[in-house]
Structure 1
Amino acid sequence: MKKFTLVLNLVCFLALGSFAQSMYGDAVKADVKMKYVYSFEEALKKAKEENKLIFFNCFADWAVPCHSMNKLVFSDQEFADWMDKHFVNFFIDVTTPAGRPFADKYKITFQAHYLVLNSDGEVVHRIVGGHQIPEFKAILKNALNPKTSLAGMNKRYAAGERNVKFLNAYADVLKIASEDETYKKVVEELFSKLKKSDWSKKVYWKSFCYMTKDIDSEMFKYMLDHKVDFVKSNGEEQVNQFISNLYARTLYSYASGKEVYNGEKLLNIYLDIQKAGLPKENMVYSLYTIAKYRGEGNFSKMMDVIETVVPTWESTIAVALDLSLAEMKDLDKTDKERLINYFQKRSEKAGGAKKNYLAAISDMVNTEGIKFEDITFNEALKKAKEQGKLIFMDCYTTWCGPCKMMSNQVFKQKQVGDFFNQNFVNLKVDMEKGEGRDLLKRYGVDAFPTMFLLDGDGNIIYKIRGGRSVQAFMTAIKRGQNLKIPFYIQKSRYEAGDRSAELMADYFYTMADAGDVKNVMGEARSYLATLKAPDLYSKSAWELYENFVNNVTDQEFRYLVTNREKFVENIGDSVVNKKIEKVIFPMVIEYLKGSVSKNDIAVAWNLVNTGKFSLDYSLVLLNKIISMYDKKEFSQLIDFYEKDVTSNQDDRTRLNLDVILHYLLKDASSKEKNRAVTYAKKEMEKARPGVRDSYMALIETLSK
């Protein structure tokens, strides 16, 4: 069986080059030899002093390609020495608070990602994706030359340079930089200047492949008619692989049920494949046969082929095609049993895909969970109007991992199904098939999964982008169900300039769920900074404080505490105090664990001291407790608990202070810990049943 790496890319739409694919799954431990500077200011200064460019490693710890580059490239001493000679090497993790501003400024959205900057911090060159050392070094040499760097070529292009050699080199640089729009424009210009007889030349092969989108294009037909020339320049294996990739892409759509069956088109494809001279063992013939039998509704013959050939294919495309079978409708009992048996056998040798096969089996036999209706979108609108319900529409694709997670782990939960089947008309739409393509455009779906609550007129009541846990999903759905101002009205009012506290109280969470606001915390706090009294102390503004002001160092939090009495007038003492407690108390626990410094915790206590709280408020008591803890006055600390904490009238305050005793007394003597155990046992006796387990755990920890 020949390699079908490119087939996988085309069919499953993966954006991985051969190098990136080879790295996945490798161990990521690496002895990095690069000499990095970790301060941007220092890098700029050093670049000016040494008259060098800056190589910026835009690292992301979660990204396997970044670690793989460490292992396979940046751990090579010879390469590292070359880099140190030619660049000031700067490193920062762009996913950290210190690194995120760089990600925003330099538009770092894909990993691995590398920039070459000048001493003014301007982009000279951009490299998106991993490369092996020889190619990576060649790319960086282009960056060192003002004529061949991305910035230099941009200037040459803007100045009107358009010769074929330049356009071809410029296209390569743009491709590496993932400058897709400009790359498309430049490649189109390049081919407008080439003669057809030049299309087959090796120097234009990458761009020709980019320009040749499908089997119906003029360029593909020219390639088939002049295959000898292409083979002579680029090699028979590479040309055959590209031809089979394009056929496989089309045939896979039919074989997986994405495209509605078209017998005449399939027959024409078969004849063209033979004309193209592809070898008989090529997988496109099997794809054609599977597509033919699936379209004809001949399940038995289709499965005969699938059971024979699909297990021999590359695993990712094989699994994808297999799992598309679970979407087939109206299978009789015998056919369903055969498919389940096939999935069971495949799961036994499927490695990491085992869970996907088992989930497919579960979906076929499990009728609990959300019941999605097999109706058109317009029929769903009509039904929603008649029943006075909203539509829940799940927009998915068959290749989307988070979509499968939602289907397998969230939608099939009984508690989720019970709620959705009662409250919504449920519609599941493949965005790459049938009317899904029109709905994708209509609702601007640009990521998967995207889920909507729609009214009977098709208006967006709420939008949720991205997979999430059952609890987070249900929270978002109920938030959308109970929203005072629907999504589409919020959006139109905001775009019209409305920035009232009433609108913005819901806007940030709504748009965060929809994926339309990226830095929701920052934007919400920035909005709060624009408010003035009385809006600043209103109940609408308070919802923003509750949801988005969660750090002692936030300017808005400091304002809240120092102006607590003004908030209390509108919101109430208990609500305001609980909010302040929710921010500071966890910080104190982290301090006790050693994760927060004494200077940082002092900031919190300064705020508590300015807040004019009652003497029995939890944070006032906690401040005194931590003071004794810092001085290691453990005996006095237990005295305080036995006198002041136990007499506090608020059950919640007593519990919160009690359960941290094991942190407070970790360095105490056995005698002092025994006193604390005695205290905890007394408190447990008078505690309500629901919290006694917390005291049991405390006693057990102290006893150790």
Structure 2
Amino acid sequence: MKKLVIVLNLVCMFALGSFAQSMYGDAAKADVKMKYVYSFEEALKRAKEEHKLIFFNCFADWAIPCHSMNKLVFSDQEFADWMDKHFVNLFIDVTSREGRPLAEKYRIRFQAHYLVLDENGQIVHRIVGGYQIPEFKAILEKALNPKTSFAGMNKRYEAGERSVKFLSDYADILSVADQDGEVYAKIIEELFNKLKKKEWSKKEYWKFFTRQLKSVNDEMFKYMVENKADFVKSNGAEKVDRIIAGLYFQEIYPYASGKKAYDGEELLNIYLDMQKAGITENHHVYPLYEIARYRGEGQFDKMMDVFEHKLDSLPEQTLVVLDLTLPEIKELDKKEQERVVTYLKQRAETSGAKKFYLAAINDMVNTDGIKFEKSSFEEALKKAKDQGKLLFMDCYTTWCGPCKMMSNQVFKQKFIGDFFNQNLVSLKMDMEKGEGIDLQKKFDVNAFPTMFLLNGDGNIIYKILGGRDPRAFMEAIQRGMKQNIPYYILKGKYEAGDRSVELMADYFQTMSDAGELKNVDGEVKSYLATLKVPESYSVSAWTLYDNFVNHVSDAEFKFLVNNRKEFAKQVGDSAVDKKIERVIFPVVIDYLKGAVSKESMDQVWKLVNSAQFSPEYSLTLLHKIISMYDKKEYDKMLDFYEKTVTSNQDAKVRLNLDVILHRLVKNSSSEQKARAIAYAKKSMENAKPGAQGSYKALIEALSE
């Protein structure tokens, strides 16, 4: 069902764009009742002491299901009490620096994701996806039983247990664990080998049977259609028709969305097969068939009639995805384009995906963002050469989520459009259609989106792999335009053996943006180890330290701090001090969250003190604040804020120190919190407009 998965992935993309916000933002607050620990080591220790299993919430802030589970499951007091009784509950963001090693170790690839571990950190149970409380609790109860847990079922299978009931239960466990690979396929194959064909239609095997159906060409699908009455008797007409129609839907959708070249005979055969399978004309798969037919035949007015009047029964999220393929039709005349825009405007007012509709409309009228050429590659390249500009080429596919994000959320930005339309010639090229197929081979495009800056002769000046937010994208573009040595020359020099620090400063950043270095941080560190004085402190070496040395535990970072004055001679005190601050400040935040130990934090302060910073430097002030925090000297700390922090001349320093205040006074008295709120309100009055939002958020956090 690969095609259907693509459609559903697109649906998820819209959901993500609409609702995924930080768990600390207004739109994602959740009154979580779970009593979590936030350290893996602490969880193991408590599991051994309390003789409990560990429930590991493998959180990812970007994932909607994770936030949904916070709101709908982990906020239920009765359920949270049950969890606290049976498990040591561990919460770690697996996308964080501390969480990524755990994500790799436990192969956490999808969200939401939950593990049950024993006291030695071995997997007992795996749960992928969100569930409502009764079902989620039932799954966890299986984890508590050594015979029914994921690990237990694996052992029973390895011991040779093969009854129909066991295979059915085992398949359920594998399904919950999202282990739909070779093992799951093998279990299902063994299960159906033990069943007679006439048993396939039984209700207890329905979910396994349907998950085996990949396309309308499968033998099992053909058997179901031929014996539809038996399946309907056991499972109901609605379920059976939904599965049959769904498989035809996935055959038709690529035609209806323009993802597959029109084939009138193939569409007609699908229509006749649907009739033969007994799918009634009132099912929404038939309007989809009409859209596919009219779109392929170029009858766009008839196609829009279907969009406007016959899609009420289509699931809303599916309709949104289908609607947003309309701007991709390049053959629309002006009148047809106006009709599509009118339709999209109407849908924008009634759909929860309003911003995506507005982005699609903007794509059609293209008033603010990048104005892409509607020409061939050679024509766009010639235009760029004639105008003395670079050609920006976006290499995308229609199924690529990050490509959609770039088109809808980045390329539409006015400040980006203003820059591109003045300084570049821009071209979008679908790598799976037309000349894009040859260009994909020519430029060796293997992942999407891949974006190029090309000179008038078609040479690669710069390459950017992957989606980025607007600011990061513009920074990469401007790096490419300012690059001392173009990509194609830089790569050639490197391959010829040039390892000068001047070249390598450009090489690592360029190849990092291009996605051509698997472990760029490691390679940079290995290279830095080869440098000798005075190269070690050169401007080019500083570029490498500034861009790639980002962890406080790195030996290279310690070298940077210990030799701060030497680097400052080359690039100035401000640049070096800001770099050190950018690395250390997040560590302090993690310390306040409980994710960094006191011993580790003390080592950081030891490093800071060794550098002999100015008394007014942010980290010097922060060290004093944390020292008071550690001693729970809250009044003394607030005195320090009111007298010393507020008088600091650097507004950014004041803001950085102020925004963590809610964490610092978390365990203080109500009177001390009230004092912190009064301080924050006064600071907001004196803050610049751009900082007002941060202070409002601080006051809200302090007031909770």
TM-score normalised by L of structure 1: 0.72
The answer to whether 1:201 aligns with 2:197 is: no
1:149-207 residue CA offsets vs partner (Å, 9 max, x unmatched): 33334445556666655544333322222234335643564377355444433343333
| 2:350 counterpart SS class | coil
Q: Which residue of 1 aligns with 2:575?
A: 579
Aligned 8 A contact 1:174 1:182 in 2:
no
1:91 corresponding residue in structure 2: 91
Name 2:609's counterpart in structure 1.
Answer: 606
**Closer/same/farther in 2, CA of residues 220 and 516 from structure 1, 3 Å limit:** farther
Shifted more, 265-274 versus 551-560: the winner is 551-560
Shift of 1:492: 11
Aligned to 1:266: 267
Partner of 1:129: 129
1:398 to 1:111, Cα distance in 2 relative to 1, 3 A: closer
Q: Give the match for residue 392 of structure 1.
A: 393
The alpha-carbon deviation at position 246 of structure 1 amounts to 1.5
Report the counterpart of residue 614 of structure 1 in structure 2.
none
Pick closer, same or farther for the CA change 1:260–1:380 going to 2, 3 Å.
farther
Structure 1 window deviating more from structure 2 (183-192 vs 301-310): it is: 183-192
Tell me, in whole angstroms, the C-alpha distance in 2 between the residues paired with 1:336 and 1:108. Answer: 44
Match of 1:223 in 2: 224
Q: Distance in 1 between matches of 2:33 and 2:651?
A: 47
Task: For 1:54 and 1:217, locate their aligned partners in 2 and report how far apart those are by CA, in whole Å.
Answer: 42
Q: Provide the residue aligned with 2:404 in structure 1.
A: 403
Question: Contact (CA 8 Å) 2:368, 2:412: kept in 1 or not?
Answer: no
Q: Is the 8 A contact 1:28 1:64 kept in 2?
A: no
Q: How far apart, in 2, do the equivalents of 1:125 and 1:538 lie?
A: 52
Aligned to 1:3: none
1:384 Cα deviation after fit: 9.1
Residue 335 to residue 499, structure 1, CA distance change in 2 (3 Å): same
Q: Distance in 2 between matches of 1:438 and 1:184?
A: 39
Q: Which consecutive unaligned segments of at least 5 residues does structure 2 have?
A: 593-597, 626-635, 659-686, 692-704
1:34-49 matches, within 5 Å, as 34-49=34-49
Partner of 1:533: 532
Deviation readout 1:4-57 (Å, 9 max, x if unpaired): xx99867333687xx99xx99998655544444444333323323443322212
Please give the alpha-carbon distance, in whole angstroms, between the structure 1 residues aligned to 2:650 and 2:82. Answer: 59
Question: Following the alignment from structure 1 to structure 2, what is the Cα–Cα distance between the partners of residues 31 and 662?
Answer: 31
Deviation of 1:493 after TM superposition, in Å, equals: 10
Separation of aligned partners in 2, 1:98 and 1:359: 36
Q: For the structure 1 residues 61 and 358, does the alpha-carbon distance in structure 2 shift closer, same or farther, using more than 3 Å as the test?
A: closer
Question: Matched residues in 1 for 2:50 and 2:650: separation?
Answer: 59
1:13 equivalent to 2:9? Answer: yes
| Residue in structure 2 matched with residue 339 of structure 1 by the alignment | 340
Superposed displacement of residue 295, structure 1: 1.4
Distance 1:508 1:156 in 2: 51
Aligned partner of residue 393 in structure 1, secondary structure:
strand
Q: Distance in 1 between matches of 2:377 and 2:220?
A: 37
Q: Deviations over 1:335-354 (max 9, x none)?
A: 2222222223323323x323
Q: Distance between the aligned counterparts of 2:334 and 2:157, measured in 1?
A: 64
Conserved 8 A contact 1:47-1:118: yes
- Alignment-derived partner of residue 671 in structure 2: none
| Alignment correspondent of 1:58 | 58
- Deviation digits for residues 102-146 of structure 1, max 9, x if unmatched? 333323333221111111111122111111233223322332344
Structure 2 Cα separation of the partners of residues 517 and 246 of structure 1: 41
Distance 1:524 1:423 in 2: 33
Distance 1:538 1:369, change over 3 A: same
3-state DSSP of counterpart to 2:430: strand
Instruction: Give, in whole Å, the separation in 2 of the partners of 1:174 and 1:308.
Output: 43
The one-letter amino acid of 1:175's match is S
2:574 and 2:547 mapped to 1: Cα distance?
Answer: 13
- Give the count of matched residue pairs: 625
Partners of 1:167 and 1:492 in 2: CA distance: 57
Please give the alpha-carbon distance, in whole angstroms, between the structure 1 residues aligned to 2:451 and 2:159: 46
Unaligned 5+ segments in structure 1 are 1-5, 612-618, 642-655, 667-692, 698-704
- CA shift, 1:399, in A, is 7.5
- Residue 275 (structure 1) aligned with residue 271 (structure 2): no
The Cα shift of 1:410 comes to 2.1
Alignment of 1:85-164 (within 5 A): 85-156=85-156
Closer, same or farther: CA 212–374 of 1 in aligned 2, 3 Å: farther
Distance 1:158 1:360, change over 3 A: same
The answer to whether the aligner puts 1:254 opposite 2:255 as a matched pair is yes
- The CA distance in 1 between the partners of 2:580 and 2:411, in whole Å, is 34
Equivalent pair of 1:187/1:207 in contact (CA under 8 Å): no
Q: How far apart in 2 are the matches of 1:504 and 1:39?
A: 38
In 2: Cα distance, 1:466 partner to 1:491 partner = 23
Cα distance, 1:238 vs. partner?
1.0
Matching of residues 353-372 of structure 1 within 5 Å: 353-366=353-366, 369-372=369-372
TM-superposed CA distance for 1:265, in Å, is 1.0
> Match for 2:89: what amino acid?
N
**Which residue of structure 2 aligns with residue 287 of structure 1?**
288
Q: TM-score, normalised by structure 2?
A: 0.72
Query: Aligned equivalents of 1:186 and 1:443: distance in 2?
Result: 37
What SS does structure 1 have at the residue aligned with 2:468?
coil
| Whole-angstrom CA distance in 2 between matches of 1:331 and 1:130 | 42
**Bigger mean CA offset, 333-342 vs 290-299:** 333-342
Look up the SS of the partner of 1:348 in the other structure.
helix
Please give the per-residue CA displacement for 1:57-83, whole angstroms capped at 9, x wherever unaligned: 223445432333234333445444443
Partners of 2:43 and 2:88 within 8 A in 1: yes
Residues 622, 657 of structure 1: 8 Å contact kept: no
Aligned in 2, Cα 1:73/1:440: closer, same or farther, shift over 3 Å? Answer: farther
* CA deviation map 1:323-373 (0-9, x unaligned): 2222222322322222222223323323x3233333333333336754445
Q: Do the aligned partners of 1:490 and 1:503 also contact (CA within 8 Å) in 2?
A: yes
Distance 1:370 1:204, change over 3 A: same
User: Aligned pair in 2 of structure 1 residues 623, 379: CA closer, same or farther (>3 Å)?
Assistant: closer
CA–CA distance in 2 between the matches of 1:633 and 1:29? Answer: 31
Q: Structure 1 residues 391, 399: closer, same or farther in 2, change over 3 A?
A: closer
d(CA) in 2 for partners of 1:297, 1:33: 56
Is the contact between residue 36 and residue 91 of structure 1 (CA under 8 Å) also seen in structure 2?
yes
Q: Contact 1:202 / 1:234 at 8 angstroms: preserved in 2?
A: yes
Pair member with larger Rg: 1
- How far apart in 2 are the matches of 1:368 and 1:67? 33
